[in-house]
Chains A and B, each alone.
Chain A
Amino acid sequence: MYQALLTRRYLFSKIMPLLAAVAVMLCTTMVLVTWSVMGGFLNMLIGTGRTLTGDVTVMWPTTGFRHYEDLIKRLEADPLVAAAAPMIETPGMINLPGGRTEWIMVRGIDGPSFARVTEYADILWWKPLDKPLPKDKLKLDERLHTTMLGKGWEDVFENGLHLKRPNPETGVDEAAAVLGIEVTKFNKREIGGFYTPYKPLIRTPDGKIRNEMIFMPANGRVTINVLPTDPTGKGVETATAVLPVANEFQSGLYEADNKTVFVRLDVLQRMLRMQPYTSAEPPPLSGEETFATGEQAEALQVPGRVTHVLVKGKGAESDASELKKRVQQVYAEFEATHRGQVPPDPEIRTWREQNAMFIGAVEKETALVMFLFCMISAVAVVLILAIFWSMVAEKTKDIGILRAMGASKLGVAWVWIRYGLVIGVVGGLLGGLTAFLIVHNINPIHEWMGRALDIQIWDPRVYYFTTIPNKIDPTHAAIVVIGFILASGVGAVVPATRAALLHPVRALRFE
């Protein structure tokens, strides 16, 4: 009882313990903010990795493999598989309005099936919005209103989903591309979190400079160049396609948003000479293809090729390994059926394995930073030890009085340990609250720093995401706060022991 009374009085009678509480608060804030941001970054990385790839991928890059429709059919018949979709992925170049040329990754997809396996429909940017984004207080997002063409956004969304756009003159749907929203640099990211097309300076064909607004899904066209290869991997003549833009996407993964372009699967197949054909109309340079068995391709009805088949499982994210085993089994049966015509041993990986190196690096970096910050936080423990050591010296007479009145050694020690724990509680809770306020508002803070101080710490080109993670895991918060409370108690143990072992007579005579 007297310990509680003395703890309360000591806490507010001196400045030093309050400083110790501030130290605990700052250390708690530091560790929790770091864990939240870096851990959140890792979670975003892991989560976003699945946004564009599904759970498991079967891949045979560059040359691709045939009979993928049969493989997809077999996979979708499996109880563990929710959906499967074909894809081709190849590096390429894009020529943009204004004359700029960029390296990109071109992905050929079938929109609807790709949307079943990934979150493609969700990441299409130009589509109707029912309500504004949380930060768009003034409702300036174009998607809340009619399009620049005076129409609704539903058509633009459908165009993106099916990678098509009607020809403005004939009205006939043309195959179109869907660009990452950062590819063209024609979209400006506003503070509210939405994009607006802005007005670049464009060099016209006659060499003049013009300033005009460009909204690519309305009338923009891009030129895509890819390099098809023969079955041995040798490059053949560059293939070029000029495509209208159907829509743009934003996955949140900067690398994808900046460097990825989707085109229709059949378009890319034709560009890469991977389309199905008959012997009467073989695609150029696609004559005879051999695999391990050296078998010649069939002359009639040669199926098309893709480089990837993406698979989505029915279970949770953690079941990806089980799904991978099942995909391997299905592929083995598929390969047995089409022996000699499909690769015997393609790469079959979970989304985590595909990004293992990067995820592993981030995990290790997170662990290392956390370890270092926890070491630094040992400063808080030492600080409490030092402060309490001097307080015990200052309160020596008090200790003598308590002992003279019959307080036990353990009772006296508990005064100080309790005091340390209270400082830990005060500092830890304040630190947790401060961390919450910082993390919750970290993006506005970062944006303000960029505007007011011209400081940009979080560069999406480096960290892959346009927004900084802003959620605190309650379990992490509990671990950190409780950890610092206990650490504060530990810091008080040595001074508490010293207090308990003071001889009462010497304590009373202490000057």
Chain B
Amino acid sequence: MTDSSSPLRGGAPLMRVENLVKTYHLGRIDVPVLRGVSLAIHTGEFVAILGASGSGKSTLLHLLGGLDRPDRPLQGTIEYDGRALHEMSSGELDKYRNQDVGFVFQFYHLLPELTVVENVLLGPMIRYGRLGYMARAGSLRKDAEELLNTVGLGHRLRHRPAELSGGERQRVAIARALINKPRLLLADEPTGNLDHVTGGKILDMLMEIRRQRHQTMVVVTHDEETAKRADRVIRLMDGRVVQG
């Protein structure tokens, strides 16, 4: 079943998925996760992908973010800004994830040995390489500090993740996801590991960022309350879109 309703439709979608199939092979056992998913995401949309645990929502997010590939022989297509993601080389996908996508994970996934600001600057370090980064170090550092100020952590630049609360870590992860100004922000259960109040604040922050930057966001969640705040909800069940 496909998702066809979108209040922000107008022009070509930023992302288009057609009949996407993904199966995990665990030894001799094949576990089908996505069974022909089709959807479209437009620029500036906030799309929530809602489903129970095991419905395939995280797998779909990973495929959208270029972290994984559809099954071979090719089963389904993913297009980003007119480019076939499923046909990109490994290097092109690396670049896509670095420059076009920002990930926010449920468990933050910050590097524990790096400070807050260093975690945020990882994306540009990967993007520009040594010489390029050093040539831009001043301005990149400034961008990182501004982002961290925006998320309320301007005073914690030199702290390590272990010294932060869950909510603070997630805010660092959001800043890290946005440093390279990606067109697409993908969040996998961003509030799943936080208490209700903190989770609400994180969601408010995401909404504010979305408003300020006209950021396209896809948030995977099992929480109906979170999904309600999206422009559009795509409901997944057993690897299929059951409701747009």
Contacts and interface: CB of A to CB of B under 8 A. Distances in A.
Contact of A505 (B68, B90, B94, B128): B68
Given A408-B91, A505-B67, A401 B109 contact: yes
A1 B94 CA distance: 16
Given A1-B133, A6-B113, A9-B114, 7 more contacts: A2-B125, A6-B114, A402-B126, A404-B109, A405-B123, A406-B95, A406-B127
Contact of B65 (A5, A397, A404): A404
Interface stretch (B79-87, B98-106, B215-223): B98-106
Interface in B45-98: 62, 65, 67-68, 90-91, 94-98
Interface in B229-244: none
Given A406-B95, A505-B62, A6 B111 contact: yes
A405 B91 CA distance: 13
B154 to A, nearest CB: 21
A178 B122 CA distance: 78
A5 B134 contact: no
Interface in A8-25: 9-10, 13
Contacts of B118: 5
Q: How large is the interface on B (under 10, 10 to 19, 20 to 34, 35 or more residues)?
A: 20 to 34
A409 B89 CA distance: 12
A503 B128 CA distance: 23
A167 to B, nearest CB: 85
Interface of B: 62, 65, 67-68, 90-91, 94-99, 103, 105, 109-111, 113-114, 118, 122-123, 125-130, 133-134, 176
A486 interface: no
A504 B96 CA distance: 14
Contacts of A411: 126
A404 B128 contact: no
A404 B125 contact: no
Main secondary structure of the interface of B (DSSP, over half): helix
A370 interface: no
Contacts of A408: 90-91, 94
Contacts of B127: 406
B234 to A, nearest CB: 20
Contact of B98 (A6, A398, A400, A406): A406
Given A1-B134, A407-B94, A408-B91, A401 B125 contact: no
6 contacts: A6-B111, A9-B114, A405-B126, A406-B123, A407-B94, A504-B68
Given A405-B122, A405-B126, A505-B62, A5 B114 contact: yes
Q: Which size class do A's interface residues fall under?
A: 20 to 34
Contacts of B67: 403-404, 504-505, 508
A13 B97 contact: no
A400 B108 CA distance: 12
Interface string A379-408: 000000000000000000110111111111
A397 B97 CA distance: 17
A10 B111 CA distance: 11
B97 A1 contact: no
B126 A406 contact: yes
Contacts of A4: 130
B103 A10 contact: no
Contact of B130 (A1, A398, A508): A1
Contacts of B62: 505
Given A405-B103, A504-B67, A2 B122 contact: yes
Given A13-B113, A397-B109, A407 B126 contact: yes
Interface centre among B67, B95, B134 (most CB of A within 10 A): B67
A401 B105 CA distance: 10
A1 B128 contact: yes
A503 B62 CA distance: 12
